Structure 1
Amino acid sequence: MVLQPVPREAALIVNAQSRRGDDLFQQAREKLQAAGFKLIAAHAVHDPTELALTVRQAVRNGAPMVIVGGGDGSLSGTVDEVVDTGCVFAVLPLGTANSFARTLGIPLDLDAAVACLANGRRRRIDLGMIDDDYFLNAASIGLSPTIGATIPHKLKKYLGRAGYLAWAARCFLKLKPFRLILNDGARERRMWSTEVRVLNGRFHGGVELTEEADVDSGDIIIQAVTGRNRLSLILDWYAKVFKLRDRNAHTEDFRGREFRLDTRPSLRISIDGEVLARTPVTVKVASRAIEVVAPCDYETARAGAGAGDGDAGRRSADWG
């Protein structure tokens, strides 16, 4: 198959409320034009609720590519607008964790990210779905929704990941274990858990949580931190942040195309950083749903973004 070139015309749409969006909008505009892109529209959106509408309008106006600048929530909240349109979705990582950019191997530095768009290639990828809502990278139940629903915006904007981690420590003290019920249509599993991650990509919160997920695998991975002891969640994050050899000792992974996911009690779900749903939900993969711009040397970039030490002692169940 002959790969189509990356479009040289695009609409730039930046969430000015993201951590670096307002500061870097003008620079991004100038650097993209210097790299050879013709910007048929450029918007710094100060009201995040207008992001999806702005992207939708750009697509309707015939933009062959939209370049969205912001964090994971900005990207996930706008990606629905390019599904089934033929419009290419490109990313400028201007948020806090930038997990989706890490999954694609896109550099977090603005100059390098622009160069990646200018010299990259089109790549068709999967999206995850929570009921009828598309998402790019990861959804979660447990600590992350509590953080996402309560963290002061200015704390995350001005202190970045340090502020996020400080608030996470505060929320952790209120965390309670819950019962997870997972069904693939043929088998039901029940277990105690302190956190559940639904992974289309490898990263969540800027940390590589699995080496097994990829955005063109055709599967979704559900990763549960098992047990009733909150300490296991701390140990799991510590092991994954520092890439310890036993970094999967506290989690169990389930791979498949579709699951019914429920909890006791019903809990909120954070989707790419935004609290948007509540259990029970249907989780599935939308195979090859959109085209993105990724580095030409994607495998090298992927390895560099999440290289680990040795074997991880994986425990997984392949439900496909």
Structure 2
Amino acid sequence: MMDRATGESVLREIPRQAILIVNAMSRSGADVFDEVRDKLIAAGVELIEAHAINNPDDMEPAVRNAVAKAPMVIIGGGDGSLSSNVDFFVGHDTVFAFIPLGTANSFAGTLGIPKDIDSAVDVIANGVLKRIDLGRIDGDYFVNAAAIGLSPMIAQTVPHRLKRYLGIVGYLIWASWCAVRFRPFKIIITSEDGLKEKFWATEVRIANGSHHGGLELIESQQVDSGVIVIQAVTGRSVWGLSWSWFATIFKLRARHGTTREFRGTNMQLNARPRQNISIDGEVAATTPVTVSIAGDVIEVAAPREGQF
């Protein structure tokens, strides 16, 4: 944040007062609300209010009201809960903090936060404030990453009980079943200068952060880069997609030959046939879309250097 009188950067400390809102519909939210609340209080965070949300219609109003009256709002839930509610923080000084309670918890990975409650509480109590970018798809903000291809197919069809009780293993089981039915598609990307690229792809990642599906797949991206990255796994083979994931996960040199990356602040994205888009794990858009970056728009609680 800038001091308007001097023009110099001013560092703010993480607020000690907050409102806690836990999505009790997330994978572990219903089971850990009391634990999260008690650990935050023990760490020195003064909770003005604490809510466990069981009705999906109540989540957004609760967050909107909290942002209007608290210096920090802590959301407990998966990546989808974070992404669908981050819009309310834009244009406010309220700090966005979170407890990762989902399946993949990719945004935690992007920020370098271990995916357990104790580490997330430690960040909120002892971390630092960090200003970050948000991605946008047709003006809808998201925190971490969106995807076209197998990911939205899995997200749209995975049985809730499989996701809830088996977590990432359940996703992998369902992904194998979906892969049999999956078909490649043609992707069309138009850059800011009007240059159009068209090619076959099996997956497209729209990245504000470095992690997707709980793993680091877009290592070139950072949440304060000022650009959005579109990374496409090229080709027409599902086995090629599997090889790309394998090579990327294990940091093999061959990984760079399986993808193409496009970087910019505003790009057009289309596909033939039309494709659903999962935004931080929730299917929420369909091609064609405008993909853009909103730079330096919110403050988050992030790990301090050397904290983990």
Distance 1:113 1:40 in 2: 19
How far off its partner does 1:50 sit? 2.3
SS of the residue 1:111 aligns to: helix
Match in the other structure for 2:192: 185
Structure 2: gaps spanning 5 or more residues:
1-8
Match in the other structure for 2:255: 247
Name whichever of 242-251 and 87-96 sits farther off.
Answer: 242-251
Match in the other structure for 1:133: 140
Distance 1:50 1:265 in 2: 36
The one of 243, 268, 273 equivalent to 1:235 is: 243
How far off its partner does 1:17 sit? 1.3
Match in the other structure for 1:212: 220
Match in the other structure for 1:151: 158
Answer yes or no: is 1:225 the counterpart of 2:233: yes
Q: Equivalent residues in 2 for 1:1-320 (5 A)?
A: 1-60=9-68, 62-186=69-193, 187-297=195-305
How far off its partner does 1:107 sit? 1.8
Give the number of aligned pairs.
Answer: 299
Amino acid at match of 1:281: V
What TM-score does the superposition give when structure 2 sets the normalisation length?
0.95
How far off its partner does 1:242 sit? 2.2
How far off its partner does 1:284 sit? 0.2
- In 2, are the aligned partners of 1:11 and 1:42 still within 8 Å (CA)? yes
What TM-score does the superposition give when structure 1 sets the normalisation length?
0.91
How far off its partner does 1:51 sit? 1.6
Match in the other structure for 1:315: none
How far off its partner does 1:81 sit? 0.9
SS of the residue 2:62 aligns to: helix
SS of the residue 1:247 aligns to: helix
Q: Which digits, 9 at most, give the CA deviation of each residue in 1:206-252, with x for residues without a partner? A: 11112110000000110001111221101011112222232222111
How far off its partner does 1:254 sit? 0.8
Amino acid at match of 1:84: G
Match in the other structure for 1:311: none
Distance 1:36 1:229 in 2: 52
Amino acid at match of 2:139: D
SS of the residue 2:70 aligns to: coil
Name whichever of 225-234 and 243-252 sits farther off.
Answer: 243-252
Name whichever of 125-134 and 50-59 sits farther off.
Answer: 50-59
Aligned Cα RMSD in Å?
1.2
Distance 2:248 2:122 in 1: 30
Distance 2:155 2:256 in 1: 25
Distance 2:57 2:155 in 1: 16
- In 1, are the aligned partners of 2:192 and 2:264 still within 8 Å (CA)? no
- In 2, are the aligned partners of 1:207 and 1:240 still within 8 Å (CA)? no
Q: Which digits, 9 at most, give the CA deviation of each residue in 1:103-135, with x for residues without a partner? A: 111121211211111111111000000001100
Distance 1:33 1:67 in 2: 13
Amino acid at match of 2:276: R
Moved over 4 A (4+): none
Distance 1:116 1:198 in 2: 27
SS of the residue 1:102 aligns to: helix
Amino acid at match of 2:38: E
Distance 2:256 2:102 in 1: 27
How far off its partner does 1:199 sit? 0.5
Amino acid at match of 1:43: H
Amino acid at match of 1:91: F
How far off its partner does 1:59 sit? 1.5
Distance 1:290 1:109 in 2: 23
Amino acid at match of 2:239: L
Distance 1:241 1:23 in 2: 31
Q: Which digits, 9 at most, give the CA deviation of each residue in 1:67-87, with x for residues without a partner? A: 011110010011011110111
Identity of paired residues, percent? 56
